[in-house]
A and B are shown apart, each in its own frame.
Chain A
Amino acid sequence: MDSVYQALVDIVGQEHVSNRQEELFIYSYDLGTTEPHRPDYAVIPRTTEEIQEIVKLANKEKVPVVPLGGGLSLAGLAVPFRGGIALDLKRMDSILEVNEKARYAVVECGVSQGQLTSYLERNFPHLTHSEPGAPPTATIAGNVAIHGQGDLAQPYGFNSDMVNGLEIVLPTGEVCKFGSCSIGSGWYTQHPLPDVGLFLGWSGTTGIITKVSIRLFPSKKIRGVGQFVVEDEELVPEIMYKLTHTQMTEDVIAFSQAIPPFASGLQHFTINIVADSEKELEFKHEIVWDDTLGEYIRSGAGGFLGFRSGLQRPQVSKTSDWRKGGGFEYVGAIMPVETYPECYRRGRDISERHDIPYTVLGRCIGAAHAMMFSWTYAFNRADPETIRQAREALHETDDLALELHGTIWKPGLYGQKLVMERLDPNTLNLMKKIKQMLDPNGIMNPGNWEVS
């Protein structure tokens, strides 16, 4: 009898652990192009205490632990490269608190984006959170664990900048809290205590987030999206700059794609505008479309495609099925906005060389402080050759992002290596020390962010 298995059963109960081929098969894959690796166990805990016990056991037995949320990060970030325990956190799915007046929500780590959206819509319609474009099964915790960004990125930045507090199970099993909650003062702020930013963006290699307090923002009665289109990609950075100057937009995205044909070779903007009244809406329309973008319309360089009330949140994504193939993966990189034209042209070029219809998109973060630029490559899951092509294109794109002075977001192993090669050696060394200190046995999501 496998003693680790038995110990896991003792912790979470028979039904919530498996070492059977079916579970091991499913948890060996993510949805992108990464080669699968089988875990030895799949475990679905329900409480922080269970997670603590699991982590302690893993340390004792030197078994890797790979946290998994929605499993939608696509770059292989939750593939158990060294086997061990695939720790599916989705049963930890309680929304613990919504503080209406201080505008935050405390959720367990398995709470999905869609769950929070729906909960707020039903119970606090005047509050909202920054929802990523991922399928709504993505978790809040998984998203901050990789520095995600959502549809409030333009006014408020990265989702991980919206964290008010965390509860973490450390790789050695202790539970820690960060932010005001750590002194028992409620979950309303991450600052001003000494900063221990050791868990956001680490892709689960420094600990397991069990609770997150995430900021909520005003949700206005009318929320809608307007579209604008230009032909010349060189105009995109200045338009983003001007739009952010208005401080009247929410999500600002520019995209271009080969299919359907209408979008090919053009740069479309989707611009979210919200208002509490028709009066406020018209005022914003005037500032955005007439005063700010009017010059492009009059010169014939830009066109207004109309405004639709009603945001579909979360959006249904059909990208994976464009080639009737069931798969896609993208490189996302945090890029200076001014690189948009080059990102577009070079990305298009990579796609065309790999025989993949191109799809690129830039989402504005903050007041055009940066953009998340994504290059998406669809593949056919049934055709290994197309998977190989997509993987190649992804790697070339990782190189490209760095060449253009960008920073790869949620890089897979290949991208992590490129980033670490360029990292300031002292920083790299510090990362190594932190990692060694927090995770002496190297059990947390091994393979990722490993400094040699």
Chain B
Amino acid sequence: MTLTDYKYGDVIHRCFRCGYCKFPINWMDVNNCPAYARFRMETYSCGGRLWLTRAWLEGEIEWSDHLADILYSCTACKNCEVKCPLSFNIDILNMMIAAKGEMVERGEVPSPVKEFLENIQRQGNPYGTSRAKRGEWMEGTGIEAYQGQEFLYYVGCVGSYDTRGQETARILGKVLQKAGVSFGVLGNDENCDGNEVKNLGEETLFEMLAEENVAQFQGLGVQKIVTLSPHSYNTMKNDYPGFNGEFEVSHYTQLLQGLIRDGGLDVSGGYNATVTYHDPCFLGRWNEEYNAPRAVLKSTPGVQLVEMARNKDGALCCGGGGGNFYIDLLGGSADSPARRRVREACETGANVLAVACPNCLTMLEDAVKAEGLEDKLAVKDIAEIVGEACGIK
């Protein structure tokens, strides 16, 4: 592809490389692009990535493994789009995703990305674990298969396969049971939601997944979906309508907020901790839901909520987006965004770092270990906190 064929050929030169996109909501540091925070070479900043993309498409530089790493180190956290003052900002991520798409097309992607996509193609999840094991997380929970209940509880790949993810998936299931919510799950029939696939630039695979999922949901008569992961929430809410999939999608924190408010869920058991909340990008910046998770925490007796300096649309991404919870181009250093983030969480004096996303959960928990902060800080999904508050063990 040349610049002329590139969908954003008439916009990509508009980046001035002024660097506003590096900031959180104030100007406290330049480390709010997780990839730039990790590497600190200008190439890894949002502006650097845009200039390199343009140079590549113009033939000024050649494709290389390094170039691919630079592009794929973008976690699609959307900090840049929110912070760039120029009107083309709405296309920043699209520009990068389209460039990744071109790499996918040419078969020139970093090997973990290749693996990630192949695994999804074969097994419907990035880990490559068998489809037949997808439903194992729910064993012994009594959670029903979906058959026309009010809600489809969509768990997602991380919730289905990752050990920590599975724990939260189970607890959330139990919380919903306790609240008397009518819901069912897809178990082994659940497939990847496609959110990461899209952000990795594999548009065709994404379309396939979206179409299949929409067809499956419609076939089952699904109208309302509640998701464990903000990633699923994002794509089902914003992308699936483009595939005729109009569902009422909510993230579980939104559902819990309503349940607690209306007395449908008794959290009087409480949870005694000083808690700081990490906004997941796909709930926060992507869907501007900053309130529901905080409302849930605030209405849980015993929770004392403190904010990190970077919060809401200024939150620092855990580094797990854009497939990076698996392809992990940002790991391996004290400068990794997840490690920066848990240090920041510690600075608030909180003893619990609450998350609302299974990707963040695994990323940040690993970071706590790497930083040796296990004694000071526990990473908990809000589902777990609520679970404890309503007496679920």
Contacts and interface: CB of A to CB of B under 8 A. Distances in A.
Q: Do chains A and B touch in the complex (CB under 8 A)?
A: yes
Interface of A: 15-16, 18, 20-23, 25-27, 29, 31, 42, 44, 70-72, 88, 90-91, 93, 112-115, 117-119, 121-122, 135-137, 314, 316-318, 320-321, 324-327, 380-382
A326 B16 contact: yes
A29 B18 contact: no
A135 B19 contact: yes
B30 A90 contact: yes
Contact of B66 (A20, A31, A91): A20
A110 to B, nearest CB: 9
Contacts of A21: 61-62, 64, 66
Interface string B120-132: 0000000000000
Contact of A115 (B13, B27, B62, B85): B27
Contacts of A72: 18-19
B16 to A, nearest CB: 4
A318 B20 contact: no
B2 interface: no
Interface string B336-358: 00000000000000000000000
Interface stretch (B37-45, B211-219, B378-386): B37-45
Contact of A321 (B62, B70, B88): B88
A23 B29 CA distance: 22
Interface stretch (B47-55, B111-119, B195-203, B277-285): B47-55
Given A26-B42, A27-B42, A314 B27 contact: yes
Given A22-B52, A25-B52, A88-B41, A325 B13 contact: yes
Contacts of A314: 27
Contact of A325 (B14, B19, B23, B70): B14
B164 interface: no
Given A15-B39, A26-B41, 16 more contacts: A21-B61, A22-B61, A25-B55, A26-B43, A31-B16, A88-B41, A114-B28, A115-B28, A122-B26, A137-B22, A137-B23, A316-B85, A317-B18, A321-B88, A326-B16, A327-B16
- Top 6 A-B pairs ranked by shortest CB distance? A114-B27, A137-B19, A320-B16, A326-B14, A382-B13, A135-B18
B333 interface: yes
Contacts of A93: 29-30
Interface in B55-97: 55, 60-62, 64, 66-67, 70, 85-88
8 contacts: A15-B333, A23-B41, A25-B52, A26-B41, A112-B27, A112-B30, A115-B28, A382-B10
Nearest to A117: B27
Q: How large is the interface on B (under 10, 10 to 19, 20 to 34, 35 or more residues)?
A: 35 or more
B333 to A, nearest CB: 7
Interface in B1-37: 10, 13-20, 22-23, 26-30
Contact of A23 (B26, B43, B55): B43
A119 B16 CA distance: 26
Contact of B26 (A18, A118, A137, A380): A118
B28 A320 contact: no
A113 B28 CA distance: 10
Which of B23, B30, B70 has the most C-beta atoms of chain A within 10 angstroms of its own C-beta?
Answer: B30
A136 B13 contact: no
B183 to A, nearest CB: 44
A23 B49 CA distance: 11
Contacts of B18: 31, 72, 135, 137, 317, 320
A381 B14 contact: yes
